[in-house]
Amino acid sequence: MKLHKRILLIFLILMIALTVKSFALSEGDTITFDGITTEMPKTYLEDETNINEDPLYVKQMQPSLMAANNNADISSIISKYETSGDTAIGIDVSNFQNNIDWKKVKDSGVKFVFIRCGFRGYGTEGNLVEDSKFKDNIKGALDNEIYVGIYFFSAAINEEEALQEAAFVVNLIKDYDIKYPVAYDYEYFGDRYDSNSGNPYRTNGLSNEQLNANAKVFLNYIKSQGYTPMLYGSSNPLSTIWDSEVRSNNDIWVAHYGVSKPSYTGSYNVWQYTSTGSVPGISGNVDIDIDYTYYMRLHNIDITDYLFDSTYYADKNSDLKTAFGYNESELKSHWLNFGIKEGRSASPVFDPVYYLNKYDDLKKAFGTDYKAAYNHFIQNGINEGRQGSKYFDVNYYISNNSDVKKAFYSSNSYSLVHFVENGINEGRRGSSEFNVMSYYNSQISYTKKQLGTAYLKYYALADGGSPINDSPINITNYLFDAKFYADRYSDLKAAFGYNESELKSHWLNFGIKEGRSASPVFDPVYYLNKYDDLKKAFGTDYKAAYNHFIQNGINEGRQASSTFDVRAYINNYSDLQETFGPNFSKALEHYMNFGRNEGRSAV
């Protein structure tokens, strides 16, 4: 199956979960990134001595900076905007929300939260400060299974300080489960002055070029540590300050209040809808946000494309492989027009016969309507956590793969996609009923040589398919050897000597019907006497026995003479096991061409 664009998103989520570096920074430590080197400054925990340098303090204490907000409670916003699986409603918080009852927040319908982890003070010193409620907030949110994103309020004046800020953020969040992006929040556009002291902000006079350089360093470093970088801003600076490179290379969180939609015309992932929202569990105002991207990504995806794999479908169904080979378009056409209705499985993750037999309610509802079972699994079953085949149980897969659980949380559909796109190839176990690695290890060396570690083919093999492209050969020519025929029958030797053409003519016209043996690998009398089913079917019709051995018997591994047992021949020699495996016709060919002259035992 080709990698779709949406799967690139999945891999990005996986990176979030798996590649975050585990390190701790202390004052004076050197930080180097993308040609920039700086030292980690002293950092602070917010307290009353520096609160006036908190940018949110200014924002909260000056109502004019929060004009044009629309008052709304969380329930009304959910009713209005959370109308499908494409959107989710969340909040963003800091120490200004004081103590939060996170259970009430969760129960109100909040799906995610952006938590401020800290800020840089806007005064001359520009101290890096941890939000005093950061640890309480992130613990409360995660304990209540609310997805968490992070934001940092920047006051960097150069790239070195932007790098310090980014490293400070990663150092704070590295031990937490961050599913949503890490946002860069810079809002000091134009010259500003402290309302109490009159002192200028440290950011006064910064050019747009410098602002963009700072943002790039911060966001690129965040990305390098395995998180999703995001730029926060209101509609105007997103359009006029931040350049196209910053906007296009990062996710966007736009703030615009009191409107039906933001005026920002570029693409965005989250809309900060209001700063005066009301949410149970939080005293006073709180920002409420609408997510158009991440919650959907973490939860549901259309799995239709992952229920069909042309290679698996061909390998599992030998009739289709004979008819279409591995032609993907023809195989898919067959599956859509016939295979689904016939109850055929086209992927290890879904078998309609298994699905209906496993669940009584589905069996009662659909009987043997396999198309209905297929549609049910896509629309309902996977999201309900139902098991679609003996090879894949999404609950088992999530529970037994911590990285999958961390990356996709409770998203059954994305976990299924991960198994199809990654888990199968990695040899991961998809259910309690089947362990592909154990099955692989149990195979003979021939099978491993033929299939290698293409584990998808082992699923087809386990399901009764024929993934090994090693067709039987026609053994007719090996059932006649002129010298053997003459030496075995003195009457023929007296009549024809070793004249091959005359001996073969006799055998074809008389010998086969008379039950004579013309090769050490086939004796029709022995063959019929050894197998009751053949004796019952053919009696003493030696020509029928001859044809049966060529067309069926050899491929079934039947023994047709006292001197040659193809199964014993293969089992006696490891090189034959590895070379021929269960291809009995080729093993017979080897014996006739080499084995008997080498003195190999075939019984």
* pLDDT band at residue 86 using 50, 70 and 90 as cut-offs: low
* pLDDT band at residue 15 using 50, 70 and 90 as cut-offs: very low
- Mean pLDDT over 49-75 rounds to 56
Which region among 68-72, 190-194, 332-336, 423-427 has the lowest average model confidence (pLDDT)?
A: 68-72
Q: How many residues does the chain have?
A: 603
Q: What does the alpha-carbon distance between residue 476 and residue 456 come to, in Å, rounded to a whole number?
A: 35
Which region among 183-192, 271-280, 370-379, 414-423 has the lowest average model confidence (pLDDT)?
A: 183-192
Residue 187 has pLDDT above 70, yes or no: yes
* pLDDT band at residue 156 using 50, 70 and 90 as cut-offs: very high
Q: Tell me the pLDDT tens digit for each residue of 276-316.
A: 999 999 999 999 999 988 886 676 678 999 999 999 999 99
Which residues, in sequence order, are bridge partners of residue 30? 39
CA 86 to chain centre: 21
- Mean pLDDT over 267-278 rounds to 94
* Closest CA relative to residue 156, chosen from 115, 121, 197: 121
Q: What does the alpha-carbon distance between residue 105 and residue 189 come to, in Å, rounded to a whole number?
A: 33
The mean of the pLDDT values for the chain is 89
The 8 Å CB, 24+ separation contacts for 55-59 are: 55/119, 55/122, 55/153, 55/155, 55/187, 55/188, 56/94, 56/95, 56/96, 56/116, 56/119, 56/153, 57/96, 58/122, 58/195
- Mean pLDDT over 17-46 rounds to 78
At 48, the amino acid letter reads E
**Six-digit token string for 392:** 């894949």
Instruction: Specify the pLDDT at position 343.
Output: 96
- Mean pLDDT over 94-107 rounds to 95
Report the percentage of the chain scoring pLDDT > 90: 74
Structural domains of the chain, ranges and CATH numbers in brackets: 25-299 (3.20.20.80), 304-462 (no CATH), 476-595 (no CATH)
- Mean pLDDT over 21-42 rounds to 84
Helix 208-224 to helix 159-173 angle (10° resolution) is: 30
Q: Tell me the pLDDT tens digit for each residue of 200-253.
A: 888 899 999 999 999 999 999 999 999 999 999 999 999 999 999 999 999 999
Residue environment code for 482-512, b if the CB has 16+ CB neighbours within 10 A, otherwise e: bebbbebbeebeeebeeeeeebbebbeeebb
In angstroms, how far apart are the furthest CA atoms of the chain? 127
Give every CB contact of residue 359 below 8 A, 6+ residues apart in sequence.
386
Instruction: Specify the pLDDT at position 18.
Output: 39
Q: What is the DSSP string of 215-258?
A: HHHHHHHHHHTTPPEEEEEEHHHHHHTS-HHHHHTSEEEEE--S
Residue 17 has pLDDT above 50, yes or no: no
Q: Tell me the pLDDT tens digit for each residue of 457-513.
A: 999 999 888 887 777 889 999 999 999 999 999 999 999 999 999 999 999 999 999
